[in-house]
A and B are shown apart, each in its own frame.
Chain A
Amino acid sequence: MTDKKIFGVTALFNDPNAIIAAARKVASSGFTKWDVNSPYPIHGIDKAMKMKPSKLGIVTLIFGLSGAALALILMWWTMSVDYPMIIGGKPYFSLPAFIPVTFEITVIMATLSTVVAMFAFFFGLPRNSHALHDTDYMKKVSRDHYGIVIEATDPNFDEKATLQFLKDLKPLSTEIIYHSEKETYPIFEPRFIGLLLGVAVVVSIGTYLMLNKLMYIVPFDWMDKQAKVIPQSGSEFFADGRGMRLPVEGTVAKGFIPYPFEGQTNPTEVLSNPYFPTKESLELGERKFLTYCSPCHGNYGDGDSRLAGQFPNPPTLHSDRARSFSDGMIYHIITVGQNVMPSYASQVTRDERWAIVNYIRALQRAKNATDSDLNFVKAE
């Protein structure tokens, strides 16, 4: 008995009038760490216990107002800044149309914060390990009795004197409550850890199946497999087995200019560069070079892209052979392709091709600069 730590002493009553009178006496005797337990709120117990009114409303106010502000800011930002769209002729920031959502967010923030704050911060719940649990006292006040508990942590507490003080209030019975002897942490029990592991495994397998298997099963793959002709794919509908239709014979695309040098190896004598290497031309050439050429030839034309070694190595553009090409020859290679390099005619327009040629020339010059070139820089 002596090694048990005392939690407090309790007294039980079965008359609401008696508990009010008893609470008044305890409150006026200078105790601070004490409480009244009852199966339902008793009218007037707050005054008898000299409790201050609840300040819970402050939490509600703060979170309710923040909810309203957050909702309005979200709607203003999404509807007028991030993705502005005119809908129904309304302005981007259409306050009347934003009222319903603002109201709902205010309500949910205010109510959830109030309840969570009350249980978690005002009461310190959930807490099933409190010393009062599983006592006869708790079972009685849970049903139809009213009880007073004075805790041992109260500065005025003295086991015998306080017990006598409670007995003088003429309760039905009194009881001394002890802390339970040893604290148990069922969280660390092997069975509980096993359960957690089991849940983790089930959830992982479930997630895997959902994402990797379920999405390929009818009807979840209907977004992926649709009854329509996919470009470049075949179709049994047409006699020629093609999904896409060929243009009518003799059709000429808009803006089409024939390229008469197809199949020739070196049409240099006729093809000459119509553009000077102006700043604009070089900038355009750089952009297009970085988009279409650099993936194989490298950012500076060194043939050092990440494709090197995986493919027939893309050649450097700074070899003597490449440097000896005329402008027209480079243009011709871009247009019709060479070895494994395909034609880029459909991706890069003629003007852009000439701009790329100018840019390659600039690269070649820069990569093979001589000391005398510094004189130009110095002269400027």
Chain B
Amino acid sequence: MSTDYSVEAPVVGGRLTIAQIEELVAKPMDTKPDKKFFLALTISGTALLIGAVCLLYTFYYGIGMWGNNQPVSWGFGIVNFVFWVGIGHAGTLISAILFLLRQRWRTGIARFAEAMTIFAVMCAGIFPIIHTGRPWLAGYLTPYPNQHGLWVNFTSPLVWDVFAVSVYFTVSLVFWYTGLIPDFATLRDRTTSKIKKTIYSIFSLGWRHSSRHWLHYEKAYVILAGFATPLVLSVHTIVSFDFAVSIMPGWHTTIFPPYFVAGAIFSGFAMVVTVLVFVRKIFDLQNIISIDHLEKMNKVILATGMMVGYAYSMEFFIAWYSGVQFEQFVFINRAFGPYAWAYWIMVSCNVFFPQLFWFKKIRRSIPAMIVIVLLVNVGMWFERFVIVVTSLHRDFLPSSWGMFTPTLYDAGILLGSFGLFFTLVILFTKALPVVSIAEVKAVADGAQPTHHRGEHHD
């Protein structure tokens, strides 16, 4: 527990050589999966299957199977969508923003976080489409010349959403794949299996580790990071526009874009920590994903948690300061109305519990951090629940007030989305390098020429 913050901790601990790093990261791909792997896959697969069955019922009978009704017409579908898009944001933050900020500790976790981004956005993308009720007509969301002579409404936030989420998914995927290409080449050259070699050769595109290529490759990486940074901020901003551009009290606020982005990073980091804590243990990556890296992520959670807390209080302040009766009612109703329990779960999980990360001991303790990040995940799901449900259930007309009762199908589909996410994560850990081999090799001790060290750091 004697951590000296005045010196930068080594990015790769344990004095690993470059070859050892490669062995460590490539080990899950070289060995056959064990029983624990299949056990985990069974659990997540079961959850996925439950979701799939609930979804099939929904497709057959329509979304009357869900709890959505007037006045709460945006139920779990939108809550889950915003929740999963938010989870995705941490990956891009780690891979792009921390890259631009020259945070070398990101190398160990970037690949995994990017993969989680892609899987989370896949989970998120399902929800608006099934929420339309006729998912097989989703093609109408794209502007294409058609015989009806109709176009999508480009001034609608819902159309902005379509563009933002699909662009975000594509760019994240390209970013991820670009990072994977040198690793595919490394795997290609180390494998002895013919089938694996063919697969890796195809995906490596015949990468030759050429310095003339690395020159452009690094440039492209900076460009991609430069675009991904505003992109990640834009995505949750646009998601918040779905609410903020409407005229519902409780939604129609200018604080929403920054508040949503901070919340997204908060929930995303919590999810990354949740998963990484187990991955580093199972795959023996404690030296590459070290406790120092986890501690840094916990600090980000603490900071963004306080930003979210600031947003909660600022909403209350503006409700009072604006003098708008309806706005004031919505916030009082949130904290003390029939959904007060959801509100206080949200506030305690997102604002109070992360405060424990002020203590270094808790920040560096694995069991404590597991509990806190799980609470944050719960709290952030409830934040979206509070925003969607409490604003809608009592709006301008008291005669049309009502309550929202989710059905078993709602819960099943939510469970299914977790099943999809973790199934993809589990398959990913066995199929691809969970840590960027090339990037971690480059920051290992003795990997760079000595006379260049200090001259320019990155």
Q: Mark A81-124, 1 if CB is under 8 A from B, else 0.
A: 01101011010001001101101110110111011001100110
Contact (Cβ within 8 A) B223 A114 = yes
Contact (Cβ within 8 A) A37 B211 = yes
Complex alpha-carbon distance, A127 and B451, angstroms: 35
Complex alpha-carbon distance, A219 and B155, angstroms: 32
Complex alpha-carbon distance, A78 and B19, angstroms: 57
Contact (Cβ within 8 A) B211 A107 = no
Contact (Cβ within 8 A) A40 B447 = yes
Contacts of A122 in B (CB 8 A): 213, 216
B178 at the interface (CB under 8 A from A): yes
B296 at the interface (CB under 8 A from A): no
Contact (Cβ within 8 A) A143 B224 = no
Contact (Cβ within 8 A) B216 A125 = no
B66 to chain A, nearest CB (A): 16
Complex alpha-carbon distance, A16 and B224, angstroms: 27
Given contacts A101-B159, A142-B186, contact A74 B143 (CB under 8 A): yes
B25 to chain A, nearest CB (A): 12
- Interface residue stretch chosen among B202-210, B334-342, B396-404: B202-210
Choose from A57, A108, A127, A142 the contact partner of B219 (Cβ within 8 Å).
Answer: A57
Contact (Cβ within 8 A) B149 A82 = yes
A374 to chain B, nearest CB (A): 49
Q: Which residue of B lies closest to A21 (CB)?
A: B449
Contact (Cβ within 8 A) B215 A46 = yes
Contact (Cβ within 8 A) A17 B449 = yes
Choose from B19, B188, B208, B214 the contact partner of A144 (Cβ within 8 Å).
Answer: B19
Given contacts A39-B18, A100-B238, A114-B224, contact A130 B206 (CB under 8 A): yes
B424 at the interface (CB under 8 A from A): no
Complex alpha-carbon distance, A261 and B452, angstroms: 108
Given contacts A111-B224, A112-B170, A144-B22, contact A37 B136 (CB under 8 A): no
B118 to chain A, nearest CB (A): 15
Q: Mark B181-208, 1 if CB is under 8 A from A, else 0.
A: 0100110111000000000011001111
Q: Which residue of B lies closest to A142 (CB)?
A: B189
Q: Mark B162-191, 1 if CB is under 8 A from A, else 0.
A: 011001001100110010001001101110
B10 to chain A, nearest CB (A): 17
A160 at the interface (CB under 8 A from B): no
A38 at the interface (CB under 8 A from B): yes
B160 at the interface (CB under 8 A from A): yes
Contact (Cβ within 8 A) B171 A101 = no
Q: Which residue of A lies closest to B441 (CB)?
A: A40
Contact (Cβ within 8 A) A37 B164 = no
Q: Mark B422-451, 1 if CB is under 8 A from A, else 0.
A: 000000000000000111011000111111
Contact (Cβ within 8 A) A115 B178 = yes
B85 to chain A, nearest CB (A): 14
Interface size on A, residues (CB 8 A): 70
Contact (Cβ within 8 A) A101 B214 = no
Contacts of A118 in B (CB 8 A): 216-217, 220
Contact (Cβ within 8 A) B449 A20 = yes
Given contacts A100-B163, A101-B159, A219-B59, contact A138 B208 (CB under 8 A): yes
Q: Which residue of A lies closest to B160 (CB)?
A: A100
Contact (Cβ within 8 A) B189 A46 = no
Contact (Cβ within 8 A) B227 A110 = yes
B6 to chain A, nearest CB (A): 25
A125 to chain B, nearest CB (A): 4
Complex alpha-carbon distance, A41 and B221, angstroms: 12
Contact (Cβ within 8 A) B154 A97 = yes
B310 at the interface (CB under 8 A from A): no
Contacts of B287 in A (CB 8 A): none
Complex alpha-carbon distance, A127 and B163, angstroms: 33
Choose from B150, B164, B213 the contact partner of A123 (Cβ within 8 Å).
Answer: B213
Contact (Cβ within 8 A) B185 A114 = no
B231 at the interface (CB under 8 A from A): yes
Complex alpha-carbon distance, A87 and B159, angstroms: 14
Complex alpha-carbon distance, A54 and B213, angstroms: 10
Contacts of B254 in A (CB 8 A): none
Complex alpha-carbon distance, A103 and B227, angstroms: 10
Contact (Cβ within 8 A) A107 B171 = yes
Q: Mark B131-156, 1 if CB is under 8 A from A, else 0.
A: 00000100000010000011101111
A-B contact pairs, 10 of them (CB 8 A): A56-B223, A87-B155, A97-B155, A100-B163, A101-B159, A107-B227, A111-B224, A125-B206, A143-B189, A144-B441
Q: 4 shortest A-B CB distances, which residue pairs?
A: A142-B189, A40-B442, A126-B205, A54-B219
Beyond known contacts A39-B441, A133-B208: 5 more, CB 8 A cutoff: A51-B212, A79-B155, A87-B156, A101-B154, A133-B206
Residues of B within 8 A of A (CB): 17-19, 22, 59-60, 136, 143, 149-151, 153-156, 159-160, 163-164, 167, 170-171, 174-175, 178, 182, 185-186, 188-190, 201-202, 205-220, 223-224, 227-228, 230-231, 234, 238, 241, 437-439, 441-442, 446-452, 455-456, 458
